[in-house]
A and B are shown apart, each in its own frame.
Chain A
Amino acid sequence: MSVGSYLLRRTGGLVLVLLVTSFLVFGLLYLAPGSPLAFILGPRGGTPEQIAMVTEQYHLDDPFVVRYAAWLGDILRGDLGYSIVYRQDVSALISGRVGTTLALVSMAAIIIAVVGIGAGTFAALRGGWGDQLTSTFAAVGLSTPSFVIGVALISVFAVGLGWFPTFGSGTGGVDTLWHLTLPAIALSVASAAYLARITRAAVLEESGREHVQTATVRGLAPQRIVRHHVLRNSLIPIVTVLGLTIATLIAGAVVIENVFALDGLGSLLVRAILQRDFAVVQAVILVLVVAFVVVNAIVDFLYTFIDPRIALGSRQ
């Protein structure tokens, strides 16, 4: 398949996924009890006249199909909608926060890749106590919720030792990296543990392969064997898991952003859901879905580089 038709197919798929997701999100939010009225009218609830006026102004009583169609039309024109709770354009709300989430997820992804692949390879090649130790850590890491790790990290490294800030995303550059270190670690622990397990299994499997044994018998340097024969061939499962993990990080960020009071998409989403701020919820979820699909597409793309025998777009 040529790159052109691959991209075309991917884009088609993306549009379809977005359409289905948007329908589901819109539909579910529509069915769920509650309305943004409580937040628009404010704490004193409002008089019947006010309720009627606000309902009319924001088309809260329009039938589902009408609202959905209007919203889709706006999206197609590049208009993500208007947050009736914040009295602001949704695109402004999102653009101010997307950077933090992107930085957080990127840092976590790097940690996951380095620690996960490193620990898994170490466990497989070292064996014995190294394997035991890594597996134990992996089991603990996998079974501890990220917010627990977050709270623990804050109390030890931020409050106890004072090495890191307790909250916020800093003022940019190095300061942001410093602020995002603990959240990124908290976010990456479970995924790194999972990746370590996958890597360990993949490396063990490859190590037992015939061509590796042949290479060993031929007396090639062990490091060369590990790099060229074992790791290279283990990459397919590792990259697959890494890709999926990064995609799920976006969802995990929702929790971590709250614990560390970060101004990302996750904390925006949580508040928007609580306030029934339809336009914001839909737009943020759309952004997350696009990110998910794009990451998966990149993983697919990487396959052909890792193993040229895999054709572009095939699902081997």
Chain B
Amino acid sequence: MFPPKTMITAASIAAAALLLTACTADASETHTGLSLDLDNLATTTTAGTEPVDEVKWNLPYEPMSLDPIFGFNYAENTVTANLCESLVRMTPDLSTEPGLATAVAQPDDTTLVYTIRDGVTFWNGNPLTADDVAYSLQRQVGETATSYFASYFVNVDSVEVSGPSEVTVKLKQPDVLFAQAMGTAAGAIVEKAAAEAAGEAFGTPDGGLQCTGPFQLDAWNSGRSIELTANPGYWDPALAPKVQRLSFSFIADESTAVNALRTGEVDGQFFYLPPAGLSQLENGDDVTTTYGKSLVFWTMITTNLTGGLADERIREALSLAIDREGLAKVVFQGAAVPATTLAGPDYWGYESDAFATAYEEFSADVDLERAKQLVAEAGAPAEPIVLAVQGSSAVHEQTANLIQAAGQAIGLTIESKVIPVEQFGNLYFDESAREGLDGFFTTNYGNFADPLDVYTMFHTADSHNYSGWDGADAPLAEARATTDPAERAELVIEAQEQITKGLSWIPLAYEPVTLVQNTRISGATASFAYLYAPWAATIGGVK
């Protein structure tokens, strides 16, 4: 996944830096105290009980589209999660429950039959039909489909209406990722008639949107705000909104956003990186900060296996020398957890005991002696190792500094090369942009609680496997086709071991969701599920 964060960090740095200098003393005092416990991350916040006229929420930037198939990023999904519902609903604890499909039958490994819920209507009053469901999925199938979720549809052969309220999906080969993706925006259902009428404009400020969620799109004032109102005809009484109006602003500048939260002009925001003003928020009386279960991680990607990081021993040495505790504390202001694998404990949606046991084998402890020994064995590369750093991002630069220091301690020369924020995104898909680089940093996330979703990116056929690392192709391919959870877990664990030892991506930190709410309200979903399920439907006023 790529640079959801690039533009945002860029816009905010200058002012954020100022703010940081302004309250350094303050921050150092309060932040030594904040340390996150992986087992204690929140999933929900206390339900608000009172009706509320309006809740103002901030997005880190303006969405590019509200059409769910173009929603694979923080701001977009934060909004669409309340508007468009998926076949399967992600719950706050990252498991799933029935959504627009009341049941999913799997007569064989390559057939999925979805029973569509009766009595559901779109905002315009039209009933939800199997036709709408089939259409919503079909438009993501095919090699040239532009859906951001297209990779989950590669094995789909056909999507057909097979009964009055039944849709059957045929797969070319078994694919466990497809079924799970139906709980993300990939499985979100839109009205066929509305989407066809609007064409390319569907989901833009001009084109409107037509879904079934607890909130309906009232207006998108381009550049200014997105306004939602409660959907009076919503089918699920458990998630009937207590909030009448939900309006989104787009404050990209971090310090401006923090100020707006402090003054109460904005009631809440989800942060994917801890903002520089985190301590000000935590110390404020008028807001609450909650850290939630999350699938987001911070990592260093090796871009090629020919340069300074070619030798696995060098990568291992570097990984052993990195002070992840220090990184979490300093770079992330305590709002992160040292990572030993890429997919952390929040990913264990099945067979969690097996995953936990496998996880125990990895450690984030620094071992300089072993690292030096590995460098001595492999021989330090003649050329410096070059890491790309995103221009004007404090998190990138500080991480690079830390890794440079780690390298120095064990005899590796590491240089950082600043890539302007406007070009950083090219690293993710343009090979020529990665020339001369050995690695770069990124935040990344899988979409549901299955480590396989992350590890699939290490298959040689995946467009994210930049270095062509091929150490786990067999278990990855087999796991994707294995529907039995216990068997799949075994294969995923095997792949995880290869991937974690191969270190073509070096895991650095797990980033929790940082949810900030004004004290006048409560109830927003605190976990990563906020990207795919109606997180605002549970918000209410606090007496």
Contact check, A166 vs B263: say whether CB atoms are below 8 A apart. yes
In the complex, chain A residues whose CB is within 8 Å of the CB of B207: 87
Known: A43-B72, A167-B265. A33 touches B433 (CB 8 A): yes
Query: A61-69, A147-155, A212-220, A289-297: which one contacts chain B?
Result: A147-155
A260 at the interface (CB under 8 A from B): yes
In the complex, chain A residues whose CB is within 8 Å of the CB of B149: 44
Contact check, A147 vs B72: say whether CB atoms are below 8 A apart. no
B250 at the interface (CB under 8 A from A): yes
Contact check, B205 vs A88: say whether CB atoms are below 8 A apart. yes
Contact check, B259 vs A147: say whether CB atoms are below 8 A apart. no
Closest residue of chain B to A38 (Cβ to Cβ) is B425
Contact check, A165 vs B265: say whether CB atoms are below 8 A apart. yes
In the complex, chain B residues whose CB is within 8 Å of the CB of A92: 205-206, 222
Known: A38-B426, A43-B148, A271-B61. A155 touches B201 (CB 8 A): no
In the complex, chain B residues whose CB is within 8 Å of the CB of A42: 70, 72-73, 148
Known: A166-B259, A166-B263, A258-B253. A96 touches B204 (CB 8 A): no
B471 at the interface (CB under 8 A from A): no
Contact check, A88 vs B201: say whether CB atoms are below 8 A apart. yes
Q: In angstroms, how far is the closest chain A Cβ from the Cβ of B296?
A: 13
- A203 CA / B386 CA spacing, docked (Å): 59
Contact check, A96 vs B221: say whether CB atoms are below 8 A apart. yes
- A258 CA / B252 CA spacing, docked (Å): 7
In the complex, chain A residues whose CB is within 8 Å of the CB of B200: 87
B146 at the interface (CB under 8 A from A): yes
Contact check, B426 vs A268: say whether CB atoms are below 8 A apart. no
Contact check, B72 vs A44: say whether CB atoms are below 8 A apart. yes
Known: A88-B205, A97-B223, A151-B19. A167 touches B426 (CB 8 A): no
Closest residue of chain A to B207 (Cβ to Cβ) is A87
Q: In angstroms, how far is the closest chain A Cβ from the Cβ of B188?
A: 15
A85 at the interface (CB under 8 A from B): yes
* Tally of B interface residues using CB under 8 Å: 63
Find A166's partner among B146, B265, B423 (CB 8 Å cutoff).
Answer: B265
- A45 CA / B19 CA spacing, docked (Å): 34
Interface residues of B in 505-539 (CB under 8 A from A): none
- A23 CA / B463 CA spacing, docked (Å): 36
Find A147's partner among B15, B64, B151 (CB 8 Å cutoff).
Answer: B15
Q: In angstroms, how far is the closest chain A Cβ from the Cβ of B115?
A: 29
In the complex, chain A residues whose CB is within 8 Å of the CB of B249: 167-168, 261
In the complex, chain B residues whose CB is within 8 Å of the CB of A49: 143-144
B260 at the interface (CB under 8 A from A): yes
Closest residue of chain B to A152 (Cβ to Cβ) is B18
Closest residue of chain B to A260 (Cβ to Cβ) is B256
Interface residues of A in 91-112 (CB under 8 A from B): 92-93, 96-97, 100
Contact check, B425 vs A44: say whether CB atoms are below 8 A apart. no
Query: A3-11, A122-130, A238-246, A273-281: which one contacts chain B?
Result: A273-281
Closest residue of chain B to A41 (Cβ to Cβ) is B429
Contact check, A261 vs B70: say whether CB atoms are below 8 A apart. no
B193 at the interface (CB under 8 A from A): no
Closest residue of chain B to A54 (Cβ to Cβ) is B146
Q: How many A-B residue pairs have CB under 8 A?
A: 173
In the complex, chain B residues whose CB is within 8 Å of the CB of A165: 263, 265
Contact check, A87 vs B204: say whether CB atoms are below 8 A apart. yes
B150 at the interface (CB under 8 A from A): yes
In the complex, chain B residues whose CB is within 8 Å of the CB of A88: 201, 204-206, 222
Find B429's partner among A45, A93, A97, A168 (CB 8 Å cutoff).
Answer: A45
- A49 CA / B153 CA spacing, docked (Å): 14
B487 at the interface (CB under 8 A from A): no
The contact string, 1 if C-beta is below 8 Å from chain A, for chain B 139-158, is 00001111011110000000
Query: B1-9, B336-344, B371-379: which one contacts chain A?
Result: B1-9
Known: A92-B222, A162-B263, A169-B224. A50 touches B256 (CB 8 A): no
Q: List 24 A-B contacts (CB under 8 A).
A: A33-B426, A33-B433, A35-B426, A41-B146, A43-B72, A44-B463, A46-B150, A46-B429, A50-B145, A86-B65, A86-B205, A87-B65, A87-B203, A88-B206, A93-B222, A97-B222, A100-B223, A154-B255, A154-B259, A155-B22, A159-B259, A259-B256, A260-B256, A271-B62
Given contacts A87-B207, A261-B250, 18 further A-B contacts (CB under 8 A): A34-B422, A38-B425, A38-B426, A39-B64, A42-B72, A43-B3, A45-B463, A87-B64, A88-B206, A147-B14, A147-B15, A159-B259, A165-B263, A166-B265, A169-B224, A261-B260, A268-B223, A275-B7
Interface residues of B (CB under 8 A from A): 1-4, 6-7, 10-11, 14-15, 18-19, 22, 61-62, 64-65, 70, 72-73, 143-146, 148-151, 200-201, 203-207, 221-224, 249-253, 255-257, 259-260, 262-263, 265, 421-423, 425-426, 428-430, 433, 463-464
Interface residues of A (CB under 8 A from B): 33-35, 37-47, 49-51, 53-54, 85-89, 92-93, 96-97, 100, 147-148, 150-151, 154-155, 158-159, 162, 165-169, 258-261, 263-264, 267-268, 270-271, 273-276
